[in-house]
Amino acid sequence: MPQSSSDSATVPAAVRAYLATKELVLTGELPAGHLLSEGDIAERLGMSRTPVREAFLRLQAEELLHLIPKRGAVVAPVAPGEADDVLDAREAIETAAVRRLVRGVNTGASLTEAAAGLRAIVRRQHEHAASDDLVAFADADEAFHRAIVAAGGNALTTRFYATLADRQRRMSIHALGPNRGHVEVVLREHSALADAVADGDADGFAELLRSHLDGTHRPERGSRR
């Protein structure tokens, strides 16, 4: 989300460079394999190269950039193995959250309340789809799945799941960007997942979730179902 000029004035330049460059990578504006220089980002943001250099080092530590001495940095691709690891973790955590929600174990939310929250996010996604705002759609996609985990009421897994947010956004934009027609499929599947939560159908939710993740991020696997 863009910062106001007053907010930007209080944020260190290195942090602004980090957040701005990271957003360019996560949204795909700087695609995998793109070569960028400190000077490019510094000029774009109206700052010196020193804070940009700090930002690049931080993004390299997060495995979003590969630094090339005297040339700049290359945007790192999402490794196939990493994508599978993220999807497996998401499936396990979200399924466990719904099972916990259905059992009513320290969740603090009812099935009806959880489903209503999910359906509200789906309505936002419909609006973003109508305006062809893929970045906002991907943000809402991440919020939808994070809400599932939060509804389970497990603070430990909720904190861990939050660490996957950046990877989720990038993977969603990468998957949906070339195939905008799949957005409608995602909307239908999200609605079905919300219905399964409302019905307290943990087993049905687990099957729907696996099919949803495979169809969006592993189309070759989903096509065999």
Q: How far apart are CA 92 and CA 76, in angstroms?
A: 26
Residue ranges for the chain with pLDDT beneath 50: 1-2, 4-6, 222-225
**How does DSSP classify residue 11?**
S
Q: How far apart are CA 78 and CA 156, in angstroms?
A: 26
Say what the pLDDT of residue 107 is: 63
Residue holding tokens 């943001």?
A: 45
Say what the pLDDT of residue 128 is: 96
pTM exceeding the 0.85 threshold for the entire prediction: no
- φ/ψ bin of 214: left (φ > 0), alpha (ψ from -120 to 50), beta (otherwise): alpha
Say what the pLDDT of residue 224 is: 44
Say what the pLDDT of residue 175 is: 83
Say what the pLDDT of residue 83 is: 86
Q: State the CB neighbour count (10 A cutoff) for residue 82.
A: 14
Say what the pLDDT of residue 225 is: 44
Say what the pLDDT of residue 1 is: 40
Q: How far apart are CA 203 and CA 196, in angstroms?
A: 9
**Closest of 181, 169, 165 to residue 219, by C-alpha:** 181
